[in-house]
Amino acid sequence: MRDAIEKDAFGPEYVIEVYDPKIGMEGFLVIDNTAFGRGKGGIRMTSDVTKEEVWRLARTMTWKNALADIPFGGAKAGIVWKGGDVKLKKAFVQSFARLIKHFTPKKYIAGPDVNTGEEEMRWFVEATGSWRSATGKPANLCMEAFGKAGEKCGIPHEFGSTGFGVAKAAQVAASQLGIDMKNASVAIHGFGNVGTFAYRHLVELGAKIVAIADKTGAVFAPEGFEEKQIRQLISSKSPISDYKGGKKIGSEAFWSIPVDILIPASVTDVIHEANKDGIQARIIVEGGNIPMRESIEEELFSKGILIVPDFVANAGGVISSYAEYRGYNPKRMFDLVERKIMRMTRLVLKESMRRKKNPRAIALELAQKKVAERMKK
């Protein structure tokens, strides 16, 4: 059955469903594998999040952390969130936190994901009573360092470590195909935290962003976007449909724009049977988690598209989480993200091209070998 959770030699170790009848909060926590350490993964808040989706994401985190050589296991959480005011959202987050408190931080460490950021992480640790139960906390949320003078502070998701890492992965992938980033055309689907920071860092590398899409629609700007206006849209968190200029296009038309690099940085399964045949990118860098099912990814790879899988490309967020957990400052965190992302991407893509094998399969081999060896110990 496609939507069932698959159990295998790697996990999952825990599949937890919680419900608060007082406010109608329903949530899921999957701790997939803790061979490398405590399960690490963000909390997703969407109207249609499912237990199966959370499990798929948790398994991705298992491979992501192992491949990045981070002492965390794989986990993920989801809260069914159909919308509401800040007061209700806080109540949902804190209800979920209290119901899974038994697992934090010994087995699970939370973090930001879709519709959760630094404030949600503040609420989460307030409810668990443990500063260590989540990363991605506000920079002004600090605690005294253990056993020495000083303090450790949050490194919020809003610093953009994931999008920064996606841009670095794209840079490596382009170099593998001999594409000059200063002439590279890029389309970004999803303009939240990951998409906006990927945009910023790709522009700094000289790339030309020619198309941006979010849930309100898409804009095609063959000569690139006007920087001042884009900065204003990002700072005000306005939809891309408010952009004055370019050509407004339908969501499906976005996928058929010929570009050097396509970055799906939105939600799960955004590339699917209905739009996969129109894709004309030379490279896909998976900024979002599980942007397509593996069968579709394999089909696109067989057509000659180089794909940087999610657990390689978007590992910047969990690398940042590790940096926060260790008490690093933001500069040291960004240095660590750049070094690890570029090394992983280069390793996976070179081996993929040498063996003419899908990069996901290569990355999976490497990650599974690491986890299996650790499990033996």
Give the DSSP per-residue string, 242-261.
G--SSEEE-HHHHTTS--SE
CA nearest 309: which of 324, 287, 330?
287
Instruction: Return the DSSP state at 35.
Output: S
Residue 248 pairs in a beta bridge with: 219
Strands 151-153 and 142-144: antiparallel
Please report how the helices 118-128 and 86-99 are oriented relative to each other, as an axis angle in degrees rounded to 10: 40
**Full strand arrangement of the beta sheet holding 208-214:** 247-249, 217-220, 208-214, 185-189, 261-264, 283-285, 306-308
Task: Look up 168 and say whether it is catalytic.
Answer: no
């408190």: which residue's tokens? 101
The answer to whether 260 and 283 are in contact (CB under 8 A) is yes
Strands 25-33 and 142-144: unpaired
| Cβ neighbours of residue 202 closer than 8 Å, sequence gap 6 or more | 167, 170, 181, 186, 209
At residue 238, the 3 state secondary structure works out as coil
At residue 15, the 3 state secondary structure works out as strand
Instruction: Exactly one of 40, 51, 76, 137 is catalytic; name it.
Output: 76
Estimate the share of the chain in helix, then strand, then coil, as percent rounded to the nearest 5.
Answer: 45, 20, 35
Residue 28 backbone dihedrals phi, psi, to 5 degrees: -135, 145
- CA gap 28, 196 in Å, rounded: 28
Q: 1: which 2 tokens?
A: 């059955």
Cite the active site residues: 76
